[in-house]
Amino acid sequence: MAAASATPLGEFLRASRARLDPADAGLIGASGSRRVAGLRREEVAVLAGVSADYYARLEQGRERNPSAQVLAAIGQALRLSADGKEHLYRLAGLNPRLGGAGDRDAVHPSLRQLLEAFPTSAAYVLSPSFDILATNTLAAALLAPFDGMRNMVRVQFTHPAAKTVFVQWETVVRDTVYALRLNAGRFPDDPEIRGLVEDMLEVSRDFRKLWNDQLVGALARAFKVFVHPEAGRVELTYQTFDVHDAPGQQLLVGTAEPDTRSAEAMSFLASLHAGR
């Protein structure tokens, strides 16, 4: 009988156990010389309290309907983060799928009004595939160097100015790719995410390397440094908020510390771009 084809669930499990040091999993004395890094299948099975054959079938795509209890045990054995466990459940089809694509691309008028309630901050709304759906004046000014490109993944990996504007480019793109993979698990039928990933795997080796890590993580509070061609260095603290009326949309708000060079730069950008 032909071997089952790899599944996203199997790929995620393999990558997760390959990253885990045996000592970190409580397997004292098991970290010696190994042909491959990480835990063996049999070790994950023991830690999760399932048979080695069952766990092997999960990784190989021959078992596609694990119970929530089994996944909880495997997630614990692999020391997955909260985001990683959510992703694991969704890959196994145990979480309900979230709203239709149309719901995730339309920005409610009240949310557009809210963007302008942050006059000294850069605020914008992202879709699950990181399309920029709406911006306030400051966000538009801050992103102006990217020539109107509307997808942040494409901006970060393909725009020639990305590595200059984003001072901490490696951290920014890592966080973006891990959040995109999380969204891909939450919205497995989203054509925008699927098409974006397929394109980026072809055009960007950096994206391909990060995507193949199989790591996931939600966008969270972050410190970002920009070098803007008009305003110079701008340091912002970003907060991310889920938009409950449109599952998958996120509102990002970047704020400078008061009475700093960055706050002055933001005021300069606001005045420069007012009325444009």
Q: What is the DSSP string of 14-74?
A: HHHHHH--TTTTT-TT--SS-SSSS--HHHHHHHHTS-HHHHHHHHHTS-----HHHHHHH
Residue range 56-60: mean pLDDT, rounded: 94
Q: What pLDDT digit, counting tens, does each position of 137-183 carry?
A: 999 999 999 988 999 999 999 999 999 999 999 999 999 999 999 99
Contact 70, 51 (CB under 8 A): no
**109-274 CATH fold:** Beta-Lactamase (3.30.450)
Residue range 39-47: mean pLDDT, rounded: 92
Q: Delimit the CATH 1.10.260.40 region(s) of the chain.
A: 8-92
Q: What pLDDT digit, counting tens, does each position of 239-276 carry?
A: 999 887 778 899 999 999 999 999 999 999 988 877 56
| Nearest CA among 117, 115, 116 for reference residue 125 | 115
**What's the CATH number for 8-92?**
1.10.260.40
Amino acid at 71: L
Strand, helix or coil for residue 4: coil
Burial of 221 (0-12, 13-18, 19+ CB in 10 A): exposed
Q: Delimit the CATH 3.30.450.180 region(s) of the chain.
A: 109-274
Query: Which range has the top average pLDDT, 27-36, 163-172, 180-189?
Result: 163-172
Single pTM value for the model: 0.82
